A and B are shown apart, each in its own frame.
Chain A
Amino acid sequence: MLKLESVTKAYGQLRALKEVSLQVDAGEWLSVMGPSGSGKTTLMNLVGCLDTPTSGKVLLDGYDLGTATGRELTRIRRETVGLIFQRFHLIPHLNAVENIMVAQYYHSLPDEREALAALERVGLAERAKHLPHQLSGGEQQRVCVARALINYPKLVLADEPTGNLDEDNEQRVLDFFGQLHAEGTTLIVVTHDPKVAALGERLIVLDHGRIA
């Protein structure tokens, strides 16, 4: 599913990732830990086709991301990856269901019924017409999860998804990850919380841009 071969990502002089090699099989649940600034987000950006490596190879679902054009990266990201952020990132002027439909829009076609069904799945059916600022943090993150799943991605990337959540909402989100995993979705979850990390099948720890 995913293979990194000696991947380096440099920001000017600073090398955020140093010759990282990693393989993730389809359906695997990988946890990523590491101190702040160790390169976790950089890794997610590369894997999520949001950025390209300075050197080394990133192979995702059979595509070599290092040689792909921007347009191809966009297409691979759209078709393959679902993203969940620590800071939710909902579009402030669109309501919950519209935020989900935006993901459908850029992927293929918006379908309100399907978007509503996804909201129902995360327990927010009656909040569909609320704007993000009218939702609690946990509710916003659940919208974000519904959005990440709406296009049935093969790979879900979550960068500290529960970092800003209370325990109740954290549990709900983690339950979803369990469901996704059961459905065969590949999961990579960055976290500071050993409890969350323990849910994965495998754990890697980054330190100063290397896998420890």
Chain B
Amino acid sequence: MARKSPAARKLFRHMLLASLLRRRSRALIAALAVTVGATTLTALASISLDLDAQLSRQLRSYGANLVVTAENGRLSAADVPSFAAALNGAEVAGESSYRYEIAQVRQQGLPVVAIDPQTVFSVRPYWSVLGELPEGNQVLVGRDIAEAMQLSPGATMTLTAMDSPADPAPQSPAPSTAAPVPANEARVQVVGTLSTGGAEDGQLVITQALAAELFGDPGAIDLVEFSVVAGTEDLTVIAERTQAAVGGSQAEPVKRLASAEAKVQNTLNSMLAVVSIVVLALTAITVATTMLALVAERQTEIALKKALGATNGDVRREFLTEGLLLGIIGGLVGTLAGVGLAALVSFQVFGRELTISWPLLPASVLGSVLVAVAAGYPPVRRAASVSPAIVLRGE
């Protein structure tokens, strides 16, 4: 039947709004259920979508996750730009290089690490320095050495280069047992102590410039560390690309960190999925029961409309449109509230502005409408099945 006339549409709209208004407390409950559902899900989805990046960035505070060494011998500072270029595309949160040597101090061979004080914290944010990082002829002393030798800031000592380069692995601070061949000497001043709970506690830290003076071979490095914002899989690919960039180099993702990152993300994602399903179910149940109550209250009205000539389709259409309206209202309000909530959580927890995923917004409104309409389907069917005969029977 032709129901397209403006007068017909106007009456249809009015019937709908008037009926919702008349039962505004119930309509409000249904719309509120959709709103709460949409709020929760939009907030969760926003956070979840933003989380990969957030989490990756957060975990970067635990240090480097990509380590480049030489397969044999040493790397050169000149290689570093090639490595960096191989990372193109990935977000690099930090980068620093190191050179390992052995020096003699008071007749004792000690491991020395030469660093770049400008960048070392970008990959080793866990370094706890009491005093300052070294400059020029200064040395930062590992906590164990400082204790054993009773060194405190301001003390001086003489570093004597020993010939053979140390094992490049940072985890092996054991002094070389090769015959010491004294070379250049430098008088250095202690500027601080370093404690990390790791190998650095037994090392002396100097600048790379001083290392070049003492040990020669300027530009030599043994290790480059990167902190890359990427997932486990990406990191493996990035490592391969980096290694291929310079012959004789070896790039390894720091697996422990990367897989911990993935585990945290998986756990969070499955938790979010469970919560989402529960919220969806609760929303659907609330909408369905509220609309069932609405239909039950309006049996006589439905019967009357049928007696006046409304088809089952007409009745279904009216109730579906009511559900649709509740879905749209709830969805719009809920989606906005959800994004707001996500932004708030993001700010409070991660201390950072949320990156809003724009396609999520229409998806969330559409989802709310679908849930409202789907949940409204059983009540709508019940409405359509009301017999018109009850209208003559009185209540």
Cα–Cα distance between A110 and B22 once the two chains are bound (Å): 22
Which of B7, B301, B309, B394 touches A78 (beta carbons < 8 Å)? Answer: B309
Cα–Cα distance between A108 and B314 once the two chains are bound (Å): 13
- A87 CB contacts on chain B under 8 angstroms: 394-395
Q: Check B265 for interface membership: any CB of A closer than 8 A.
A: no
Cα–Cα distance between A77 and B309 once the two chains are bound (Å): 6
18 sampled A-B residue pairs with Cβ under 8 A: A50-B387, A50-B388, A50-B389, A50-B392, A77-B388, A83-B308, A87-B394, A89-B300, A91-B304, A98-B14, A103-B308, A103-B309, A106-B305, A106-B308, A106-B310, A107-B308, A108-B2, A112-B7
CB within 8 Å of B: which A71-118 residues: 71, 74-75, 77-78, 83, 85-87, 89, 91-94, 98, 101-103, 105-112
A41 touching B392 in the complex, CB below 8 Å, given contacts A93-B21, A94-B15: yes
Q: Give the bracket for the number of chain A residues in contact with chain B.
A: 35 or more
Q: Check B391 for interface membership: any CB of A closer than 8 A.
A: yes
Q: Check B307 for interface membership: any CB of A closer than 8 A.
A: yes
Whether B311 contacts A109 by the Cβ 8 Å rule is: no
Q: Check B8 for interface membership: any CB of A closer than 8 A.
A: yes
- A107 CB contacts on chain B under 8 angstroms: 308-309
* Besides A89-B391, A92-B301, A108-B1, 20 new A-B residue pairs in contact (Cβ under 8 A), listed by A number: A41-B392, A45-B389, A48-B307, A48-B392, A50-B307, A50-B389, A51-B387, A51-B389, A70-B312, A74-B306, A74-B310, A83-B391, A102-B15, A105-B8, A106-B309, A108-B2, A109-B3, A109-B7, A112-B7, A147-B308
Q: Check A159 for interface membership: any CB of B closer than 8 A.
A: yes
Whether A44 contacts B392 by the Cβ 8 Å rule is: yes
Q: How far is the CB of B322 from chain A (nearest CB, A)?
A: 13
Q: Fill in one digit per residue for B269-299: 1 if any A CB lies within 8 Å of its CB, else 0.
A: 0000000000000000000000000000000
Q: Fill in one digit per residue for B11-36: 1 if any A CB lies within 8 Å of its CB, else 0.
A: 11011001101100000000000000
Q: Fill in one digit per residue for B367-391: 1 if any A CB lies within 8 Å of its CB, else 0.
A: 0000000000000000000011101
Whether B301 contacts A91 by the Cβ 8 Å rule is: yes
Cα–Cα distance between A50 and B8 once the two chains are bound (Å): 25
Q: How far is the CB of A125 from chain B (nearest CB, A)?
A: 19
Q: Check B256 for interface membership: any CB of A closer than 8 A.
A: no
Task: Describe B's contact surface by its main secondary structure.
Answer: helix
- B307 CB contacts on chain A under 8 angstroms: 48, 50, 77, 83
- A75 CB contacts on chain B under 8 angstroms: 309
- B309 CB contacts on chain A under 8 angstroms: 74-75, 77-78, 103, 106-107
Whether B22 contacts A92 by the Cβ 8 Å rule is: yes
Q: How far is the CB of B105 from chain A (nearest CB, A)?
A: 93
Q: Check B5 for interface membership: any CB of A closer than 8 A.
A: yes
Q: How far is the CB of A67 from chain B (nearest CB, A)?
A: 18
Q: How far is the CB of B7 from chain A (nearest CB, A)?
A: 5
- A93 CB contacts on chain B under 8 angstroms: 18-19, 21-22
Q: Select from chain B the residue with minimum beta-carbon distance to A151.
A: B309
Cα–Cα distance between A78 and B309 once the two chains are bound (Å): 4
A98 touching B11 in the complex, CB below 8 Å, given contacts A71-B311, A92-B22, A109-B2: yes
Whether A85 contacts B392 by the Cβ 8 Å rule is: yes
- A111 CB contacts on chain B under 8 angstroms: 7
